[in-house]
A and B are shown apart, each in its own frame.
Chain A
């Protein structure tokens, strides 16, 4: 039972404000992921919720109670650190039990709790080992286990998987998803890995330079990014952006002129734009379609590089004005490097951003 609400939360280090008034309501049992480029304030925001940093202004409510002045323990949170933060001189068992001792639970109960958590994370055979005798993945599981035994209302994770190799990341990611399901706790998770964000999150909070850019479900962010920043940040490989001009404002959408003069139909809201306005046209690599060279309404360029990945392939196309476009399609490529290629932009997949960066809502 824990919802976490941030109201106009600000944080300054000395004179420098790093978090600029964040409003966020995390509901009970929700899995919320903070993403954003390095230095945007993800960790800082998490540490504000944890109580490791003081909130400069604004309110933090946990379960409806103002928590700004509460200790981490009173807030009922547990945190898993990127560096694991295990006590080097304690065994796995002691590491997991250390936070429990002294809270009125008896030795037998601690023992039981630790063993149950260890069993669920497959740590039982390692209970007597020291952290230095564990692999990175095992250490991370101990760190997670230490958080579990506390049975917190809110779990906080700061890039818990970033020190693991790719295979272990996937495995531990699935473990965390399972944990969320069985524990039924609220979880806040910081990462700069999109795949982690997209797969784990109920809702993603995209941060940039201490501001919230957009909050939404993974699919919302993917389908309807609010602005250029989110559009560019969510999705891999990145969305293609073209400079364009509004040629005509229609009833269903806009007709744009691409840099090479090609007219492009789009299906978007038309508020606040008029013919002649400069806009940005965005389209994801996987939404471009291969077309015949010379077909009307297509853009064409020279193929620079082809990457065949087996189940799909990427084609990098040098387009008018020097822009490099990425085109992704299934199966193996059928074209040759350095030949000409034409790409179609389906109107319902086009994103249009005004000069101020705001997206025009797609109608597709």
Chain B
């Protein structure tokens, strides 16, 4: 018994010594900035003069001036950004997961030239977001863009569409580009999950005469579900701090601004470090909350199906 606990102690020590460098680096590059941001969110800091800051409590979040509500939580523009971000996250991830699954299933089948197709599919993911955003920006350009040109030539539209300027369409344009870029990533993660599945159970199901559709829903889906959940969480965390695509693709409008765009605007354009930090802190809280919920829901669902 005592030998065992000594062994356990040694293991715990080893674990900590392996973890320590990582934890220190994380504390420096992620922990410290986070703490600073949260601290600034409770001050009236201004970008032009960071030496003279005054602690103002929750005023950046919510305050009453002259009988009127003010602060982040009273700002319609902020809530618009929250709504935009959530809409973008849900729609783009739903599409990416669905398309990613389809692509993964295709890539999982054996066919001639599979290796080449697998590599080719990854190209959109390999291009830096800024580059693909610029590229799509040109393709979607209302006067010179190839997409309008194509649709006009095919007589599908009569007049050019302002893809990125029209507030009703711009968000869809952003989602389209994001789906184009990120589906390969989803497909790859799901494909990795699919390839972990044992092959013999598919032969067993075939012998038993179970229809392929039933096999997909009753065998493949539940078994690959954990991999899909991981992919969805990864993507959701990424999608909720969406910035570059929207910043490059759409003009600086409220209709498409995300939480990150809002925070940048406060910080840089308006020099309001306090306000911007408050927005960043809320963004952090939203992402943290989402992660916890996603992990929890994913587990519960898994528990039910197995």
Q: Chain A: residues with CB nearer than 8 A to chain B?
A: 50-52, 71-74, 77-79, 81, 83-90, 98-99, 102-103, 130, 146, 150
Contacts and interface: CB of A to CB of B under 8 A. Distances in A.
A297 B110 CA distance: 65
Contact of A99 (B198, B203, B208): B208
Contacts of B305: 89
13 contacts: A52-B203, A52-B206, A72-B208, A74-B209, A81-B204, A85-B201, A86-B201, A87-B219, A89-B222, A102-B211, A102-B214, A146-B208, A150-B208
Interface of B: 198, 200-201, 203-211, 214, 218-219, 222-223, 305-306
Nearest to A77: B207
Given A98-B218, A102-B214, A130-B306, A87 B208 contact: no
B246 to A, nearest CB: 40
Contacts, number: 62
B209 A79 contact: no
Interface SS of chain A: loop
Contacts of B219: 87, 89
A72 B223 contact: no
Given A88-B223, A89-B223, A99 B200 contact: no
Contacts of B208: 72-73, 78, 98-99, 146, 150
Contact of B207 (A78, A84, A86, A103): A78
A80 to B, nearest CB: 9
A72 B198 contact: no
Contacts of A88: 198, 201, 223
B222 to A, nearest CB: 5
Nearest to B204: A85
Nearest to A74: B209
Contacts of B218: 98
A294 B207 CA distance: 64
A99 B201 contact: no
Contacts of A77: 207
A50 B198 CA distance: 19
B207 A52 contact: yes
Contact of A81 (B203, B214, B306): B203
A73 B198 CA distance: 21
Given A85-B200, A102-B214, A72 B306 contact: no
Nearest to A50: B207
A71 B205 CA distance: 12
Given A72-B206, A99-B209, 5 more contacts: A50-B207, A81-B204, A87-B201, A87-B204, A98-B218
Contacts of A74: 209
